[in-house]
Amino acid sequence: MEMLYKTCDECQLRKVRCISSQSSGSKGCDNCAKRGSLCHFSRRRRQRRARLPLGKDVPEKTDNVKPLSTVHAVDATAQSIKYTTFSKNIIKPETPQILTDHQHQSVECPTTYVDMVLRGYRSSSRGSTEASLVKSHNIYVGSSGLAFFSESRIDSITARLGHNRFQQAMENISNCVKSFIEPIHPPGSLDGESKETTDFVKLSPELANSYIEAFFKSAHPSYPFLDRRQFETNIFEHGAESIFDTSPSLFALYYAVLAIGCQYEGGDSFKLENCLAQKLFRVSLTCLPRIVMRTEGLLSLQALVAMAVFAQSVSCIRYGNMLITEAARMAVYLRYNRPVRNGEDAAQCARAFWLVYILEKLSSFVCYRASILDDEDIGIAFPGSLDPLCGGFDYFLAMARFARLLSITYGSLFTISATTLSHETIHGAIDKLIEEVEGWKSTLPRLFNPDYPFRPMDFNNSLCLNASLRLRYRYYSIVMALSRLGSLTYTSKQQRLAKYRSLACDSARNVIELTTHIDIHPTMPNWYLVVMPISACFVLFDFVINNPAHAETGKFLSLLGIVAGYFNRLEFCTDGVVRSTAAAEIAEMARQFIAGKENRAEPSMMQASDGLQERTKSGVSKDQDEFWDAVDNPMSELDLSSSSYIDFFQGSDLNSFWEILW
């Protein structure tokens, strides 16, 4: 007997309920009868079992397919696959399947927002439209931990504090960010520069050799993308001055290496004026238009990578993400994501590509944008590091694995299509991703593992110390981002909510405690110097303001004082380039707010009860009374339906990830 679907094809396409009443007098459904269209019920066909040549990683029962809305990551069969449990679009909204007589397999309905738009299911745009630098995606703030407050959140905190100092502090931060990222040269100035500009910076052979030595000794172990022998052979055989016209890529690479080495030899500062390293970098940067228009294969990619590495510092953040993006585009254009077959050195191509992969994934996640490098189209082998750190630890591989985790996290939770997921799907994905992050952490040696105390005396050199510090910060950043996203997404499980908040606060606490070990030097990337400390400051400040009577509030106030002191030290070491006023003001506002709450709590219980009635009569809303009754209990949890939190899926605040978080 032929089996038909209970819903006709037209109703399936329109996503409406198919009702067939006897009064209609026809064999079709009521909807088709009203529209005057032909009502057709497709025949149900048995789905064929998929044949996947994955060996042991394939589940035994492939015909037992779960609904698309289910979080695939929580499947027990996926737990054995490290770092690849999630794929770019593995979590999909629930959509029906349509079968026709001409198809033997089900046709997958729209699973991304663009499919919904193109098929007529969505008529509105979705994405970030905020222009503020501290509330939307840009080159300074991002989804990895720098979740600046939304406008509505700022208004809520301002009303709670009773003054507008916090709003002014946020405006000061926004102005500070603008001063860093806005170009200091008029548009087109780089195009107009020529060889006369490069002749201005000339180094003696001895000084140039010392800078090259410093680069390979101090910088290259963390960014292993060059073969020193090949590099020096190319430079000294052709001559630095003669290659400007013949090979602009090699010329730019040479001066970028000199600029990085000059940083480690004391020739750099946080200010642009009278800085030799910055002048060398500018010489390299003048070749950028020629590198992009005249690609020289591997040399062009290496030149872009070297410039991008230099531009990680505070003084060059206006160029950093642009250079990383150009390097990623060139890597795709040169097809270095696949095995090299054009006669170039395969190992050098692989090292350059994987360093671009790391930098681009980190940058994309921070700036809330999709990656240019598609993980599903990467087939090049990982070469390993030429200069392993303490005890043979491959820092390069550890960072590549972390970059892959960031790519999975972004594709699963932070894309436009991810905003259509249900709350339970979001929480299931977060829990699984946290497990994946913990799995990555377990692969790190003891000296680099966040589970073990950070003790500077355990390291033989500054390279190992800084590598351990960076890995710890990366771990805390992704945990903080996931846990904060989970804590602001509705859930009926209070235990899960408490776990997310505890993870966010613990990560922020560890970040602040590690600031005492940060080497404030121009070579330290801006993300470690500024982004993570101020992000942790915002996490604890928000918690203190909303939980003034919590048992940990006193400790968090002390930590806010520590981070304020760190930014004072940062301002001193940078000669005022990075200001400390915002962090100091935030810490002071939190302390004054808690002091005011404690002073109001001094009367006796009877007086407090009478005072509660007086406040109610004088116009204090009932919602505020219920809120403070909840937060005054250290073990209580905040109500996510309160106006102090932003719903993840509803309202006009779903314009940027930063507004989603705070």
Domain parsing of the chain, residue ranges: 1-44, 151-183+432-601+634-661, 190-377, 603-633
Worst-scoring range by mean pLDDT, 219-223, 271-275, 578-582? 271-275
Strand partners for 98: 107
Residue 197 is predicted with a pLDDT of 45
pLDDT at 528 over 60: yes
The stretch 273-301 carries a mean pLDDT of 88
Percent of the chain with pLDDT over 70: 69
Distance between CA 248 and CA 411 in Å, rounded? 37
Residue 253: predicted pLDDT: 94
Q: How far is the C-alpha of 439 from the C-alpha of 459, rounded, in Å?
A: 24
In three-state form (DSSP H/G/I as H, E/B as E, the rest C), the secondary structure along 449-476 is CCCCCCCHHHCCCHHHHHHHHHHHHHHH
Q: Is the dihedral of CA 103, 108, 114, 117 positive or negative?
A: positive
Q: At 53, is the pLDDT very low, low, confident or very high (cuts 50, 70, 90)?
A: very low
- Which pLDDT belongs to residue 349? 92
| Averaged pLDDT for residues 263-280 | 79
pLDDT(84) > 60 = no
Query: How high is the pLDDT of residue 468?
Result: 94
475: CB partners within 8 A, 6+ apart: 437, 440, 441, 450
Per DSSP, helices labelled H in 239-297 are 243-246, 248-264, 276-285, 288-293
Q: What is the mean pLDDT of the chain?
A: 75
pLDDT at 589: 92
Round to whole Å and give the CA distance between 514 and 314: 19
pLDDT (tens digit, 9 = 90+) per residue, 357-410? Answer: 999 999 988 877 888 999 999 999 998 766 677 778 899 999 999 999 999 998
Residue 137, pLDDT > 90, answer no
Supply the pLDDT for residue 47: 56
Whether 97 has a pLDDT exceeding 80, the answer reads no
Alpha helices in 410-531 (DSSP H): 423-442, 462-487, 494-514, 526
196 band by pLDDT with thresholds 50, 70 and 90: very low
DSSP 592-608: HHHHHHHHHT-S-HHHH
SS3 of residue 542 by DSSP: helix
